[in-house]
């Protein structure tokens, strides 16, 4: 059984905005935009309450067992949703989670906040 890559989307991100109680937050809007689109094969999307990237929201994380995990921030639903899905598709087919630089979506090149090694990895 092959596990899918998981795209975690912070649904509580305010992206530096003061949202009113009855307004949708930018993170929730990004989540809705991503889940309304055609999700790439090998990718699942999950909303999460917080990725602790508040000063760099809206934020997403991309993870899969045995692969590097990435956190991306400063995202906007209108500008970045399609690029995020393109990048998630490229990540899903990698062996280790590292997408060659030339093959990375523009968003993944410019909005990386963090890269975390696979659990138990001996990579230096």
pTM summary value:
0.90
- Give the per-residue SS3 of 89-111: HHHHCCCCCCCCHHHCCHHHHHC
The gap from C-alpha 101 to its chain's centroid, in whole angstroms, comes to 17
Phi, psi of 50 (to 5 degrees): -165, 135
* pLDDT band at 64; cut points 50, 70, 90: very high
Cis preceding-peptide flag for 29 (omega within 30 of 0): no
Structure tokens at 58: 């809206």
Q: How far apart are CA 16 and CA 101, in angstroms?
A: 29
Instruction: Output the average pLDDT for the chain.
Output: 90
């Amino acid at each position: 059984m092959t596990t899918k890559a998981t795209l975690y989307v912070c649904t509580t991100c305010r992206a530096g905005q003061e949202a009113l109680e009855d307004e949708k937050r930018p993170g929730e809007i990004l989540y809705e935009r991503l889940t309304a689109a055609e999700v790439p094969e090998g990718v699942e999307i999950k909303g999460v309450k917080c990725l602790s990237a508040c000063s760099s929201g809206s934020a997403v994380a991309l993870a899969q067992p045995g692969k590097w995990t990435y956190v991306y921030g400063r995202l906007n639903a209108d500008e970045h949703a399609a690029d995020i899905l393109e990048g998630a598709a490229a990540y899903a087919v990698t062996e280790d989670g590292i997408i060659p630089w030339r093959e990375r979506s523009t968003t993944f090149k410019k909005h990386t906040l963090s890269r975390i090694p696979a659990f138990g990895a001996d990579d230096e």
